[in-house]
């Protein structure tokens, strides 16, 4: 996600404000929580990321005896935490070649810890009922003639393209301008607000063109169809101001501080070994979002039912 740089004062304040210690309740033969020290996990603002972090935190605490501190941070601020020493791991990174260049290649304070196993997809979507009624609406070339359908009080007489949190990875303002579409990008402000708008668009048959992404539990509940933008080709998004192509698929990965990696601790090894599927993540996200479970309960349910998956993440001899 491309965000504006923040002052050091703001960064420090946000880092402090975002800290929340995850409690431990190790039982049975599990090691006592805290006996191995503390792991600082960044938690970025979408439920799929939370699912990764919750399962990793649960295993670090219950199986390996660490204390985990979760820090609710936007993406760019999370990376700044590698330099300050306040973040050990980002456990779902979407691309960010710019941040990798700065913090991995140039400052050398972070390293890649390998893929999460998830494929990330970003695109523009409409509800299935709109495709049934307007079959050609999924071709971006036809969006112009449907702009009036998507007008809202916030779109200034243009069609509305609804985005989520402004800090998310998005090329949408450039796409609207460069494809010469009579639309305005409006930010809902959060993942929850974006999902609510999508659900209302289906339930109330309200026209909606919106930015969305996978993995996401909502796709298992309701049907949305992706709009075909000009095909992505390597390098077509190199200049953020000139982008006129679709989003690439992202092989999501984990980034950790170099200091944390250099310890080669069992905590680092578990995070490096962590790899699951979009279905796994969506399941935990559903527990968190729709079944009223807190982080510990959601992680415990998944861990109890998927030992064959997570057992391979536990370092040998632990």
pLDDT band (50, 70, 90) for residue 234: very high
Asked if residue 25 has pLDDT above 60, the reply is no
Residue closest to 42 by CA, chosen among 66, 9, 19: 19
Residue closest to 6 by CA, chosen among 79, 71, 70: 79
Do 120-226 and 8-119+252-313 fall under one CATH topology? yes
**pLDDT at position 31:** 59
Mean pLDDT of 63-74: 96
Q: Phi and psi of 99, rounded to 5°? A: -70, -35
Percent of the chain clearing pLDDT 90 (strictly above): 83
**pLDDT at position 318:** 74
Mean pLDDT of 250-272: 97
Asked if residue 85 has pLDDT above 50, the reply is yes
pLDDT band (50, 70, 90) for residue 316: confident
Measured from the Cβ of residue 100, the count of other Cβ atoms closer than 10 Å reads 18
Residue with tokens 């007489």: 157
| CA dist., res. 103 & res. 292, Å (int) | 37
| CA dist., res. 244 & res. 232, Å (int) | 9
Per residue in 56-76, is it b (16+ CB within 10 Å) or e — as a string?
bbbbbbbbbbbbbbbbbbbbb
Q: Alpha helix (H) ranges present in 18-161?
A: 47-62, 75-84, 97-100, 128-133
**pLDDT at position 32:** 59
Helix, strand, or coil (residue 54):
helix
Asked if residue 81 has pLDDT above 50, the reply is yes
Mean pLDDT of 174-186: 97
Q: The domain 8-119+252-313 belongs to what CATH superfamily?
A: Periplasmic binding protein-like II (3.40.190.10)
Asked if residue 4 has pLDDT above 80, the reply is no
Residue closest to 84 by CA, chosen among 18, 11, 19: 11
Tell me which of 37-41, 220-224, 241-245, 292-296 is least confident. 220-224
Residue with tokens 């796709």: 219
Measured from the Cβ of residue 189, the count of other Cβ atoms closer than 10 Å reads 12
**pLDDT at position 147:** 97
Asked if residue 89 has pLDDT above 50, the reply is yes
Mean pLDDT of 87-113: 96
Mean pLDDT of 253-257: 98
| CA dist., res. 141 & res. 205, Å (int) | 23
pLDDT band (50, 70, 90) for residue 12: very low
pLDDT band (50, 70, 90) for residue 7: very low
**pLDDT at position 30:** 54
Per residue in 239-251, is it b (16+ CB within 10 Å) or e — as a string?
eeeebebbbeebe
Domain ranges of the chain: 8-119+252-313, 120-226
| CA dist., res. 78 & res. 71, Å (int) | 9
Structure tokens, 259: 């200091």
**pLDDT at position 143:** 97
CA atoms within 13 A on the CB side of 257: 21
CA distances from 179 to 176, 243, 280, 303 (A): 5, 9, 36, 46
pLDDT band (50, 70, 90) for residue 35: low
| CA dist., res. 282 & res. 51, Å (int) | 8
pLDDT in tens, 274-285: 999 999 999 999
Asked if residue 14 has pLDDT above 60, the reply is no
Mean pLDDT of 149-178: 94
- Report domain 120-226's class: alpha beta
Asked if residue 91 has pLDDT above 50, the reply is yes
């Amino acid at each position: 996600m491309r965000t504006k740089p923040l002052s050091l004062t703001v960064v420090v304040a946000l880092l402090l404000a975002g800290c929340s210690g995850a409690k431990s309740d190790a039982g049975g033969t599990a090691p006592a929580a805290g006996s191995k020290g503390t792991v600082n996990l960044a938690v970025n603002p979408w439920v799929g990321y939370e699912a990764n972090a919750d399962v990793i935190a649960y295993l670090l605490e219950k199986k390996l005896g660490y204390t985990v501190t979760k820090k609710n941070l936007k993406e760019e601020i999370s990376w700044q935490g590698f330099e300050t020493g306040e973040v050990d791991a980002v456990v779902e990174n979407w691309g960010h070649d710019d941040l990798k260049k700065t913090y991995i290649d140039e400052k050398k304070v972070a390293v890649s810890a390998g893929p999460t196993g998830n494929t990330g997809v970003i695109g523009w979507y409409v509800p299935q009922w709109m495709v049934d009624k307007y079959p050609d609406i999924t071709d971006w070339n036809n969006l112009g003639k449907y702009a009036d359908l998507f007008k809202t009080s916030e779109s200034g007489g243009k069609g509305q393209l609804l985005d989520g949190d402004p800090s998310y990875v998005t090329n949408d303002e450039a796409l609207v301008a460069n494809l010469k579409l009579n639309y305005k990008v409006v930010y809902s402000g959060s993942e929850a607000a974006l999902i609510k708008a999508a659900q209302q668009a289906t339930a109330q048959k309200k026209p909606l063109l919106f930015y969305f992404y996978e993995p996401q539990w909502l796709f298992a509940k309701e049907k949305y169809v992706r709009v075909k933008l000009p095909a992505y080709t390597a390098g077509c998004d190199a200049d953020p101001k000139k982008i006129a192509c679709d989003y690439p698929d992202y092989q999501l990965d984990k980034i950790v501080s170099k200091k944390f990696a250099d310890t080669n601790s069992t905590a680092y090894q578990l995070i490096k070994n962590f790899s699951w599927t979009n279905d796994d993540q969506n399941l935990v996200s559903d527990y968190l979002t729709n079944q009223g479970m807190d982080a510990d309960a959601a992680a415990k349910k998944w861990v109890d039912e998927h030992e064959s998956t997570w057992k391979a993440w536990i370092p040998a001899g632990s």
